[in-house]
Structure 1
Amino acid sequence: MVFLINDLKGIRQVYAPSMYATIAPVLAAEAVRTYEVGGPDAFAVFSQRDFHQNRRIFLLDGFYKDVLGGSLTDDGLRVAHATRNGQLFMLGRNIAAYKLVSASGRPYILLIYLTKSLWIELIDALVGRNLPYTIGLFLLVTALCFVLAYHIAAPIHSIQSTARRVAQGDLKARVPSNVAKRFDELSALAKDFDSMVDRLELLIETQRSLLNSVSHELRSPLARINLAVAMLKERYAADADDMLQHLDRDVERIDVLIGQLLILSRLESGLSSSEREEVDLAQLVEGTVADCHFEAEASGKSVSLHTAGAFLLRSADPHALRSACENVIRNAVRFSQPGTNVEVLLAIDRNGSEPQVTLSVRDYGPGVPEEALDAIFQPFYRIAGDGQEPDGNGLGLAIAAEAIRLHRGTISASNCRPIGLEITIRLPGDLDMDIA
């Protein structure tokens, strides 16, 4: 019987260390020995004894006939014709054939039909008559896995949540006490984390206290210096006027710096409930824009405002918000080119789950290097121009960032094209906001 190449489609040779390739030679040799010694009857008993559950075996002679006279399927004959001496061939995972030559010199082919796959046999072995016990064991193992996962994940989630609060500026945050009472590595991690936050809080509070004390202590001598400068202007001749003007400007610069340090110190110490009141944000921004526009006209610049309605915040600090707006807008005016306009936009962003108030200030200045977009909100951070000394004292945007943080808002900067910088302030809608 001749087979075309297409007839062998799906038939593959199986090599060691496959389980089938290992067992097939032993099984075939035993089947042939049983048949040649005991005849068909002995082989029939052999096949029924070992393979009556999940397998059926046939022993074919050199003419591809079953020695017991049984009928074979076409797929079985295809595999039998494809096999070669000492090699195992399979069709899918259900039919296997192994060819060998006995000691008497006769060729035989062991043909095996697998009625169940190994996975099905494994499931049968696990379940069998013990199905209720198997299901119970599975449910017990699943429950234990969930308990173990919760036992590990819950304290990690608590530490992670506390770390986020600390990163947002809440130095009073601590890991829950139930995590520290555990007797494992997570308990030690929680204790070390709390110790780190304690130390960090102490350092920051010491720094704030020192800054506040120094600023207050400098205010009194500065007032006396201002008075002395005024008296000198009245007594001395005009040839000392230039020197006195320089002295007056330096004193004024120090006074402004100390005033900003005091504002920053007050904001970093937090806002009390007595400082919060109802604030019309649109009116506050409008007044600030008007003041900044008046100042900008002296240098050939302008400030414009676009707003849509009133935005009433029931629990806010008007002084902190005004300070934030003034510093951001004045910073934009300072760096804008003459003849340009600083654009201020107050609007509502409804894209998220909750509406947010957004205040964007866009200037037409040189912009900021991309790597410094976040750093400009840090105290005393300044950017030098081309061959020029840095302008300002680096506290304006830091004051704005701190004021917005105390209102649970965000402030960010981005460069515009072709020139300019845009600073965006976002205030959350949970400030008891009314939108007219």
Structure 2
Amino acid sequence: MINSLLDKNFEEVTLGFSKASAMEEANRCLYCYDAPCMRACPTSINVPSFIKKIASGNLKGSAKVILEANPMGASCARVCPTEELCEGACVMQKDDKPIKIGALQRYATDWVKNQDIPLFNAGVPNGKRIAIIGSGPAGLSAARELCRMGYEVTIFEAEKKAGGLNQHGIVSFRLPQEVVDWEVEQVRRLGATILTGKRVGKDVTCDELLENFDRIIVAVGMSKVPNLNIEGEMLEGVLDAIEFVKTTKQETVPQNMIGKKVVVIGAGNTAIDAATCAIRLGAASVKILYRRTAIEMTAYPFEYEFAKQEGVEFQWLTSPKKVVGNEDGQVMALECVQMKLVDCYDRKDALLEVENSNFTIATDFVIRAIGQKRQVDLIQEFNIQQSNGIPSVDPVTLQTSNSKVYACGDVIYGNGYGDATVVSAVQQGKDCAYAIHHSLKQSSEIA
């Protein structure tokens, strides 16, 4: 029953453009000079160029424009917050409606994926070896660029399947696994060696990498969701949102949520993913609890709207205090307290508990979605400078305190380096690749 729900309810929600609709939309574009949509894209895709090529029927050329700038262009066409980036900057926004840039990007990249046409070639070998830790958007992006410049690239991936966040952390009905698999395969075809099931720090040491490779890129993302630090958290039925979403991308889902009540703690994009997954696994009710209000939630507006359409309830100004279990050690309820935001002279919107406001919510599952832990152990093993588990990097080159080690993607998010988005990670991967190439050329290690 659960597996049939996966087959039925986890198919991609949004259908792509037909040829006719893509042509109609592409012909709406004004093909702006110095286009604001291009400036709003972290990877600087030449949006007018790729859309004009769609309008003229040159889908191969369109896809090449997209993927030249963004190696993960097929994934980003589905998961980018386009309303806030390229489409949000579209000049058509003022008087009409913005061009559906994301949907057009998907149309072109899906075409080249389905045709299985290679667009890029590996560069002439230059004799230098690069190790990349992590095969998510940042790692794959760096690998693609380095392979094109002639480097021998080896990617170390702790999971059994490559793709990182795109593969394991984004729900299938928004980003199908076949799209991620295709993007991974494009990097592999350029000559990158991808070693899965290889955890750096366990299966291979950092010292071994430093000894055997000319440069190293740390692109490991973040780790598991931190604990709530409340009583009863170890009961059966309290789940990590990241791990929960990952199970929905496997052949068998261990949690039977059919007809059950589910509570998700947190209001970011991962919380939305966990909640909508629970709905699609047959949960009778799913509530998202957040200690602040909808104004402060970190989920994108389109994610919030999607969750509401799916039937997810939101309960604001609510904080968990205790998970209550039955005699068998399974979750049966969650004790909560109401919160209030209070303006303070020295602290804006301080969060305080409302006295005597405790109440209980009956539930069968509690899913933690309150952010993610840092990869502290790996950072410490490399012995590089860090702040609260975030590697300190040069803001331009993304080089760490060890001149051989660079870092990019979510592993450095939080110290002012980009946003926690796939497209930002992709650009940082490119930046790392170019910085390494420039450094080795300057030192005359390569021609």
Higher relative contact order (CA 8 A, sep 6+): 2
Larger radius of gyration: 1
TM-score, normalising length: structure 2:
0.20
